Amino acid sequence: MKRISFKGVIIGNVVDIVSTNIAVLPLMTYMLISSAPVRDLAASTHVLTESSAFRVWSGVLGGLCSVLGGYVSARIAKHDEVLNGALSSILCTGFGLYALLGGGATGHSMLHIALLPLSPALGALGGYLRSRRSVQQF
């Protein structure tokens, strides 16, 4: 248990989720403004879930934010960077499983299952990038 920095993992999870929401918000706004006028929440949700451009770009932005969360987690931990970086995606993976099992994942279930391991891998990449940076500083 000494290998895991709980402070780093918790802060990395928060950074991952908050930065993903901040990064995707302008994309959602653009997609809704550029589509036909939407009058209710169900129609706007339909516009976003059916847009392949939104899915691709939100996935790319979310992936970059997972790398950022892993980097922050590893930087705070200052040891076992790859492990702590990978653990920084626990909340994202948990929310993904909840959406999948709870019925929140609309369509594309197989794609959702295939992408679940990507979040810990990208967090580990962020931890790896931090470990490489700390090696270069010496």
Q: Is residue 62 part of a domain?
A: yes
| 104-110 contact pairs (CB < 8 A, 24+) | 106/49, 107/49, 108/55
CB 38 within 8 A of CB 32: yes
Rounded CA gap, 74 and 71, in Å?
A: 5
Q: Is residue 84 part of a domain?
A: yes
Q: Is residue 37 part of a domain?
A: yes
For residue 97, the enclosing domain spans: 6-136
Q: How confident is the model at residue 33 (pLDDT cuts 50, 70, 90)?
A: confident
Q: How confident is the model at residue 60 (pLDDT cuts 50, 70, 90)?
A: very high
Q: Is residue 127 part of a domain?
A: yes
Number of folded domains that form the chain: 1
Q: Is residue 1 part of a domain?
A: no
Quick one: pLDDT at residue 47? 78
Q: What percent of the chain is modeled with pLDDT above 70?
A: 90
Q: What is the dihedral of CA 111, 116, 117, 120, to 10 degrees?
A: 140
Q: Which residue carries 């709870």 as its tokens?
A: 102
pTM of the model: 0.85
Residue 74 neighbours by CB under 8 Å, 6+ apart:
8, 12, 81, 82, 84, 85, 88, 126, 127, 130, 131
* pLDDT one-digit tens code per residue, 64-120: 999 999 999 999 999 999 999 999 999 988 888 888 887 655 566 777 788 889 999
Task: Check pLDDT > 60 for residue 62.
Answer: yes
Q: Is residue 36 part of a domain?
A: yes
Most confident of 23-27, 44-48, 133-137: 23-27
Mean pLDDT in the chain?
87
Q: Is residue 103 part of a domain?
A: yes
Q: What is the mean pLDDT of residues 29-52?
A: 77
Rounded CA gap, 16 and 93, in Å?
A: 11
Quick one: pLDDT at residue 54? 87
